[in-house]
Structure 1
Amino acid sequence: MTIRNQRLLGVSGLVLALGLSAFGADALAQHQLTGRVVDERGNALPGARVSVPALGLSTSTNRQGEFSFSSVPAGEAQLEVNYLGLPTGVRGVNVSATEANMITFTLADTGAGMDRIVITGAILDGTARALNQQRTNDATTNIVSSDAIGRFPDANIAEALQRVPGFAVARDQGEGRFINLRGAPSEFTAISVDGAAIASPDATTRAVDLDTIPSDVVNAIEVSKTLLPFQDADSIAGSVNLVTRSPFDRGGFSLRLQGGASINEIGSTNDYRLSGVISNTFGPNERFGALFSASYSHTDRQVHNMEANWDVATVGGQDVFFVDEFVWKDYDTRRTRQAYTGALEFRPDDSTRYFLRGNWSRFEDDEYRNQLILDLSAGTLQPGFTDTTATWTNARIEKELRHRTVTNTIWNIQAGGEHDFGRTRLDYQLSYNESEQTYPQRDQLLFRSSLRPTVSYNYTSADEPAISLFQTNEHQDFGAFSFRRLDQRFEVNDTREWAVRANVERDGSLFGNNAEHRFGAALRWREAERDDERWRSPTTADFGPAQTLTQLQTGEVSQNFIYNLGFKIDEGLADAYFNSMRGTVYGNPAYRRMPTSVESDYTVEENVYAAYGMSRVSLTNTDVTFGLRVEHTEFSSTANRVNESTGVVTPVSNSRDYTNWFPNLTVRHEFNENLIGRLALTRAISRPNYPDVVARVSAGDTPPLTVNRGNPDLRPTLANNFDAGLEYYIAPLGLIAINAFYKDLENYEFTLRTPNQVFEGQPATFVQAENAPDGYIRGVEFTWQQSFTFLPGLLSYTGIFANATFTDSEMDIGRTVGGRSKFPLQGQSDQTFNVALFFETDRFNARLSWNDRSDYLDSLNAEDSRFDRYWEGRSQLDFTASFEVNDQFEVFFEAKNLTDSEGIRYESDRSRVYERERFGYTLFSGLRFNF
């Protein structure tokens, strides 16, 4: 251990020792008042504001509706509870100096002068829980309850987050995968489960694949858009904490089941979804609790996909664009998503609790891809071509089947405890997380036609160009195809992290005002490794399947948009061939692709040691939080370099240590109980993606070379953040809010392609991550949520959820590359919108929701901006409805992507479509059971 680490750990120990010194008899002698706020059904009310007005004391309830005052004088006290959507409750309590003071406060949903509101309905109940927690939090947050998630057709966490202000979603085959918060790259948002960070299964990025985790296993999603010192600093855009269920959320025995099936537009395939939660509290005074939940879904989708590769040539002094390759991909995709969570909790008394929690999620994407490749660049481009028309002679035709299975697994386990000693509180947690991505099967069988036709195309329609091949149909002369190549591949990426955290909180005073002081430390030890193995067969026929292409095909037409690609290849026959080649090609050193199979591998160790201190001072109507966090990072890695002449593999290592300081100032001001202003000055970090900072060099094996290099000198991105907002909470249940933000970026990480280089005597293009010295993200969010109880008749059962986010971003690399020195940030849409209209009564609710994001940069071509790739903005219309048959049974219906919106990727100009993907709409229905 380095001297610097010893010092940091010493500071952490001193911080904890100072906190623990408060656990004296004086703390235990205080008159403590604790309690729980529930509704008429006994359900906890989180985020309720509890106050003792005469003493100037106030606090808010936690997720189980619990609150605590550490020091209340003995005698009569008047307690006031305020909860949006319910009338304010007032109750007198007698605080004893000798006995425990524990009360249960029940808020009723009716009251004199109270506007009528159906708080028992699923939509409004979830809204009330979210708004009450947001209102009482110090930082700028958004809360999404499980009830709210269930009212949208969102199968995974990424899709659930797309409804939250500031979020946009990047999709894969129509399903949300990665998130962009406030226009920032996906890596700028940290993901945790119950406060413990989880790593990405994907080796190429720190951004977590959120399609791995189903949405129905969480109790709530907590989004922190401004950080406090006790939170990990690796959250420039914000942090997302997935809160799993606790057996004490409801208390007693509880059983909830849900299941249903769908029909999908393309291919008339079906999806299935099942989930359940069972929990109970038991023992003397119900001090023990246990919970188990499970979720399983299976989707069977057919997806149409077409790609075109654009290039440019100078003709007569003018640049003219042309396509040199078309690829049609007909997907048959089977995706399974399953997750399990468990919790054991023990609360020996009202001031002590212990927990053991675990969760496991697995996502498998098993896809067959029938592919038609029209390689125009193998032929000759004829004179007279334009930006929309061209003719090529001697084009090459190939057909390929790829069977690829990828599996993501994320699991973690946590153990810890919480202790309330009156004026002092202690909590601690030990956790382990493992995230893994494997490709157990990645087989590609390629056939090539002997025919070399002349092909013309016309881009009068940018989405569906007219291509002469589909009139002459040379691609359907199956007898002209012969075996060309077999590629087989295996890959595994694994990240493991141990973490320990401890926090001490002490009630006190500062400058004559009530204050809370908090100290803590966190240690995180992470290891990551990647192993990529590739094999390729010779092109001789004896390595091909026993069947010809004609014999391998089924009678099922492979249709892609308006294009008839021929027939699909029989999956069973293809898999039998792939399996027969294991040992012959797959795993055979003679056909191992070197150096690719070695130079993409690496191992990483990254340790983060952190300590913080903070104070929260309560003035008359203002809460001021200030503090400092320090994080020390140790990083080391090993990659491989191969000498192609000798075959010698040489390990290459690098390491670096750095320390960062994160000051924090957060202000929350109540103009009145419904109008709240917030301001935050914070600092945050985003550490580099592992492949970008590892000392690796991968040049491939086919000239001209594209040399992908790691950059050991790459520095983490830092951001100084300014956030300000104003929130007005509308009676009886609503919100109007505006939040502005500015993030000043230092050392923003971007990838630069540098052509016309020389690598080991061959011409090459270098691809390497670098730091841009300066950059920014700025924007503003608007939110409007309201129940229209003031309207007459049936309209009084309606309401709206709406939000809009407008962002702008830029990075300045400090020099001119390809005529530019300033570039946009990847993943940043100028606008994102959400609008949902709902109707809800005691038994029935319905919601029509619209989600939209504008175009955003997908990949940057620094040498030529005309080849920057953008995803076109996309809108989607969804509908959900449910009806409670009785108190136990509920039927529901979901309609997803009613607009049949597609995914379009283009190169700088919308007329140059690079990729078009269509996945159709889905209709889903099912049944819920609650006991």
Structure 2
Amino acid sequence: MKLSAALLGAASSLALCAVSGTAFAQHAVTGLIIDDRGNPLPGARVRVADQGLTATTNRQGEFEFSALPAGDINIEVSYLGLPTATRTMSVSDTGRNAFTFTLSASETMDRIVITGQILDGAARALNQQRTNSATTNIVSADAIGRFPDANIAEALQRVPGFAIQRDQGEGRSIQLRGAPAEFTSIQINGVSLASPDEGSRAIDMDTISSDVVAAIEVSKTLLPNQEADSIAGVVNLITRSPFDRRGPRLNATAGGSYNEIGGTNDWRGSFVASNTFGEDDRIGALFSASYSRTNRQIDNIENDWDFVNVGGQDVAVSDDFTLKDYDTRRTRISFTGALEFRPDDATRFALRGSWSQFEDFEFRNRLTYDLGGLQPGATDTSATWNSARLLRQLRNRSYENTIWTIAGTGEHDFGASRLDYTLGFTRTEGDRPRGFELVYRTGANRTVSQDFTNFDEPVISPFQTGEQLDLTGIGFRQVVDRTNLNIQEEWSGRINWIMDGQLFGHAAEHRIGASARLRDTSHDEERWRDRSGALAPADFNGLFGTERSQNFGYLLGNKFDEGRIQDYYFSIRDQLRTDAFRLDDSSVESDYELEEKIYAAYGMTRVQRGATEVIAGLRVEHTDFSSTAFRYDELTNTATPNSNSRDYTNWFPNLTVRHEFNDNLVGRFALTRSIARPNYPDVVARIFLNDDGDEVERGNPDLNPTLSNNLDAGLEYYFEPLGLVAVNVFYKDLTDYEFTLRTPGVFEGAPVDFIQAENAPDGFIRGIEFTWQQTFTFLPGLLGNTGVFANATFTDSEMDIGRTIAGRSKFPLSGQSDYVYNVALFYEDSRFNARLSWNDRGDYIDSVNASDPRLDTYWEERSQLDFSASVTLTDRFELFVEGKNLTDSEGIRYDGVRRRVQERERFGQSWFLGARFNY
């Protein structure tokens, strides 16, 4: 393997810098902080005041001091939601010292703080967030479980700074602080994930069930020991450990839902089983599983807009009106496992794995009026067309996203120094085994009038007269099938050496490390099409069933019968998937293979001076990239490989400061640098001519990665019993931002539109976040059991492409909303809790039309109200109910202005009833 001399030199220099000033301790003290139910308390602050030392407990409630004098010491433990306590411990001058510290509520403290399910999760999250060096947000499993969020994307929408993009009403991809989804790195237990999507590095977060994680840790500012490909931040999904709570443990959840549209049902279930055993519980094992199946029906209207000249003025008209009636079945399965061994207090080994699969099976009826022959007198609200076609289409497609990770870790504590290492493997698959379409259409001989006075539900003349049900003259157009398989595999390894010492007379921690990530990617696509009629159904009308298709206020006629369509499809599939019907150019030119190797080294020092903590360091990453794609020659029936390779090295300096103005007020400041490498199809040397011959997608091997210099600053005020008020500002100065541009040109003698990714020289993202969390214990009676979680994020963005196109050179970043709000009001006592949650994000641009700004596409502002509640029947059993989208909010996409609706989609409400068992 190639490793640049510069990288080796950097690693050596960093190591020398970090080792300087190291001092070795004599007496190590470790401890475990638990509550009076035996649960570990993560994020507790442990102080030895007379020594000026502070430690923080990890997720298992453990802490360590590597150098304490022998004799009696006073240890102070503080944890939001519980009273601060002090204990005197005796430190032996031989061997390691281990203590267990139980932190209990006082008799006067409201027990809801330590027994309530909502507030217990909030306490764990707040304590970890308060003591972290960088700007972070923590979401505990308890907090996730109190929202009606079935996947990770929907769980993250409640976190400050996050917005989600939905697919058919369900959260799919995430955007942090207004940045594109590709700017956020996703990890499982610290192992970076590759995307199953062939078109983007962004991870489809609906693949992973929210039931299988113990916590979600969001790092909004990076430290040098973290991978640099995280301009917006890092989302680390932490799966459960058997040492989260020692001893036998079993948790199970099951239930079902009723969905408003179609009267369908969803089912969901999960369980976690774990135990610790052996002498002193030094061995632990855990297994968890989650299963869900949703059956949804979706209403959908779509329009294609363009401008035509009428009487010397441009008039916006819709020349394509489409109704889509979706029946979908989505299945999500996730497993996690862990085997951990702690032979002594200084050594730990763990093997952790996860497997998640998301399958989407779609059966879609579509009715389209393809409009032509515009008549005089058209306006922005009305038009008549006399050369219209009616199309009836059936699409039956399925795809599976699979994400698999496994990692082995080791930790060794030598007192004054520590060593940890990880070897990981991840494999992701995006498999589209079926992309079947059957299309029939009439001649261009129908007359259609349209009235867009009500732009959400326009009046289309055939649906007033019933002409849309007349299939006279409809004929076979085509039958299409498509498969697509995208596989990414990555081996990764990292090693870290941490040393205690001093710097300028103050306690310091020095850290050096190195890592490598070796990724292989392959993309294989096959397409087949019959337009000759050789494989056309013998009886088109016989494919329809008796169920009517009603989409909003429009009647499409009878639906295609799923069983009959399946019988027809499997009767022709093998014949269709032969060379006689293969689209060779599409099949070959979509394929590519690539390798990407990323080597990194870093050094950093953490120094504590009184209430101020300073971290300074440097990271260097070297990237090797190579790829091969193919160009198909129809004249010779041959495929010619196109290969490209490049390598580059980037440096990432880092300064992070954390200051405690007092026990409650924490300030943070960070100057960092980060990177976003190009999406693979955009940088692979490929040329793909579409089936109609009017568009050429072209890779850009000269595409540079996006670099960002980041400034973050914030203040957080924590108050009892569980309160937080915080404000954070951020600015990201972008260089070489990647965007996609469509430009006219000539290809092989014919006019085409070229679609290619390019770099914008300059850009920025800036914004401010506000967070408010409080329990209203000061209110009288039952009101004292209420509280609020609220946050708001305001962002602005811009990219300057360095040239003027259609009068513009500056554009907002895709997906950036000016605001995102979350408000959740809750009530909780010892047996009952309820939460009403409201989420809102503003309009955002979806795509830029470089040639006509009036046709830029936006998603409209969308708000949603959700409800969840649970009642504890016994110490081990509870019932819960969840209501989603109580506002019946829709998804609206429009071109330029709101009245030009491009897409309107309705999902309806759903209600879920379930039960939980805890042991």
- TM-score by shorter chain over 0.5: yes
Q: What residue is the counterpart of 2:299 in the other structure?
A: 304
Q: What residue is the counterpart of 1:600 in the other structure?
A: 590
Q: What residue is the counterpart of 2:798 in the other structure?
A: 810
Paired letter, 1:362: Q
CA–CA distance in 2 between the matches of 1:487 and 1:475? 24
1:418-474 deviation per Cα after TM superposition (whole angstroms, max 9, x unaligned): 111111111100000011101111100111235832100000011100000112323
Does structure 1 residue 652 correspond to structure 2 residue 642?
yes
3-state DSSP of counterpart to 1:119:
helix
1:317-369 deviation per Cα after TM superposition (whole angstroms, max 9, x unaligned): 31111011111110000000000000000000111110000000000000100
Paired letter, 2:409: G
Does structure 1 residue 685 correspond to structure 2 residue 657?
no
Q: How far does residue 12 in structure 1 lie from its aligned partner after superposition? A: 4.1
3-state DSSP of counterpart to 2:144:
helix
Q: What residue is the counterpart of 1:546 in the other structure?
A: 538
Residue correspondence of structure 1 range 153-168 to structure 2 within 5 A: 153-168=148-163
Q: Contact between 2:18 and 2:605, CA under 8 Å: does it hold in 1?
A: no
Q: How far does residue 315 in structure 1 lie from its aligned partner after superposition? A: 2.4
Residue correspondence of structure 1 range 720-735 to structure 2 within 5 A: 720-735=709-724
Q: What residue is the counterpart of 2:403 in the other structure?
A: 410
Which of 494, 498, 521 lines up with 1:528 in the alignment? 521
Residue correspondence of structure 1 range 375-390 to structure 2 within 5 A: 375-376=370-371, 379-390=372-383
Q: Contact between 2:310 and 2:376, CA under 8 Å: does it hold in 1?
A: no
Q: What residue is the counterpart of 1:57 in the other structure?
A: 53
Q: How far does residue 399 in structure 1 lie from its aligned partner after superposition? A: 0.5
Q: What residue is the counterpart of 2:287 in the other structure?
A: 292
Q: What residue is the counterpart of 1:440 in the other structure?
A: 433
Which of 133, 138, 142 lines up with 1:143 in the alignment? 138
Paired letter, 1:670: E
Which of 379, 384, 396 lines up with 1:391 in the alignment? 384
Paired letter, 2:768: V
Q: Contact between 1:811 and 1:824, CA under 8 Å: does it hold in 2?
A: yes
**CA separation of 1:509 and 1:22: change in aligned 2, threshold 3 A:** closer
Q: What residue is the counterpart of 1:614 in the other structure?
A: 604
Q: What residue is the counterpart of 2:700 in the other structure?
A: 711
Does structure 1 residue 336 correspond to structure 2 residue 331?
yes
Q: What residue is the counterpart of 2:418 in the other structure?
A: 425
Q: How far does residue 316 in structure 1 lie from its aligned partner after superposition? A: 2.8
Q: What residue is the counterpart of 2:741 in the other structure?
A: 752
CA–CA distance in 1 between the matches of 2:215 and 2:396? 37
Does structure 1 residue 873 correspond to structure 2 residue 872?
no
Paired letter, 1:325: D
Q: Contact between 1:453 and 1:474, CA under 8 Å: does it hold in 2?
A: no
Paired letter, 2:130: R
Paired letter, 1:506: M
Q: What residue is the counterpart of 1:566 in the other structure?
A: 557
Q: What residue is the counterpart of 1:360 in the other structure?
A: 355
3-state DSSP of counterpart to 2:211:
helix
Q: How far does residue 583 in structure 1 lie from its aligned partner after superposition? A: 2.5
Paired letter, 1:815: R
Residue correspondence of structure 1 range 23-34 to structure 2 within 5 A: 27=24, 30-34=26-30
3-state DSSP of counterpart to 2:516:
strand
CA–CA distance in 1 between the matches of 2:13 and 2:283? 34
Which of 579, 583, 599 lines up with 2:574 in the alignment? 583
Does structure 1 residue 97 correspond to structure 2 residue 104?
no
Bigger mean CA offset, 315-324 vs 479-488: 479-488
Paired letter, 2:640: T
1:629-650 deviation per Cα after TM superposition (whole angstroms, max 9, x unaligned): 0000001111111122222210
Q: What residue is the counterpart of 2:497 in the other structure?
A: 504
Q: Contact between 1:594 and 1:701, CA under 8 Å: does it hold in 2?
A: no
Q: How far does residue 732 in structure 1 lie from its aligned partner after superposition? A: 1.3
CA–CA distance in 2 between the matches of 1:58 and 1:133? 14
CA–CA distance in 2 between the matches of 1:724 and 1:61? 25
CA–CA distance in 2 between the matches of 1:461 and 1:481? 30
CA–CA distance in 2 between the matches of 1:127 and 1:252? 24
Name the Cα RMSD after superposition.
1.5
Q: What residue is the counterpart of 1:317 in the other structure?
A: 312
CA–CA distance in 1 between the matches of 2:17 and 2:428? 36
CA–CA distance in 1 between the matches of 2:581 and 2:624? 38
Q: Contact between 1:632 and 1:660, CA under 8 Å: does it hold in 2?
A: yes
Q: Contact between 1:746 and 1:773, CA under 8 Å: does it hold in 2?
A: yes
Paired letter, 1:687: R
Paired letter, 1:120: T
Residue correspondence of structure 1 range 850-929 to structure 2 within 5 A: 850-929=838-917
Which of 730, 754, 774 lines up with 1:741 in the alignment? 730
1:457-492 deviation per Cα after TM superposition (whole angstroms, max 9, x unaligned): 000011100000112323212354332210011110
Q: What residue is the counterpart of 1:128 in the other structure?
A: 123
Q: Contact between 2:397 and 2:435, CA under 8 Å: does it hold in 1?
A: yes
Q: How far does residue 573 in structure 1 lie from its aligned partner after superposition? A: 1.1
Q: How far does residue 13 in structure 1 lie from its aligned partner after superposition? A: 7.0
CA–CA distance in 1 between the matches of 2:725 and 2:305? 46
CA–CA distance in 2 between the matches of 1:851 and 1:7? 48
Does structure 1 residue 47 correspond to structure 2 residue 43?
yes
Paired letter, 2:834: A
**CA separation of 1:345 and 1:874: change in aligned 2, threshold 3 A:** same
Bigger mean CA offset, 590-599 vs 919-928: 590-599
3-state DSSP of counterpart to 1:886:
coil
Q: What residue is the counterpart of 1:400 in the other structure?
A: 393
Does structure 1 residue 557 correspond to structure 2 residue 548?
yes
Gaps of 5+ in 1: none
Q: How far does residue 582 in structure 1 lie from its aligned partner after superposition? A: 2.0
Q: How far does residue 314 in structure 1 lie from its aligned partner after superposition? A: 2.0
Does structure 1 residue 88 correspond to structure 2 residue 76?
no
Q: What residue is the counterpart of 1:672 in the other structure?
A: 662
Q: Contact between 1:397 and 1:452, CA under 8 Å: does it hold in 2?
A: no
1:272-297 deviation per Cα after TM superposition (whole angstroms, max 9, x unaligned): 00000000000111110000000000
3-state DSSP of counterpart to 1:877:
strand
Q: How far does residue 740 in structure 1 lie from its aligned partner after superposition? A: 0.3
Which of 29, 35, 45 lines up with 2:31 in the alignment? 35
Scaled by the length of structure 1, the TM-score of the pair is 0.97
Paired letter, 1:714: L
Paired letter, 2:567: A
**CA separation of 1:710 and 1:896: change in aligned 2, threshold 3 A:** same
Paired letter, 2:69: P
Which of 648, 653, 656 lines up with 1:663 in the alignment? 653
3-state DSSP of counterpart to 2:255:
strand
Residue correspondence of structure 1 range 473-484 to structure 2 within 5 A: 473-484=466-477
Q: Contact between 1:603 and 1:637, CA under 8 Å: does it hold in 2?
A: yes
3-state DSSP of counterpart to 2:93:
coil
CA–CA distance in 2 between the matches of 1:140 and 1:202? 29
3-state DSSP of counterpart to 2:445:
coil
Which of 72, 83, 86 lines up with 2:68 in the alignment? 72
Which of 298, 322, 326 lines up with 2:321 in the alignment? 326
3-state DSSP of counterpart to 1:504:
strand
Paired letter, 2:855: F
CA–CA distance in 2 between the matches of 1:858 and 1:293? 38
Q: What residue is the counterpart of 1:449 in the other structure?
A: 442
Q: Contact between 1:30 and 1:70, CA under 8 Å: does it hold in 2?
A: yes
Q: What residue is the counterpart of 1:174 in the other structure?
A: 169
Q: How far does residue 8 in structure 1 lie from its aligned partner after superposition? A: 2.2
Q: Contact between 1:118 and 1:842, CA under 8 Å: does it hold in 2?
A: no
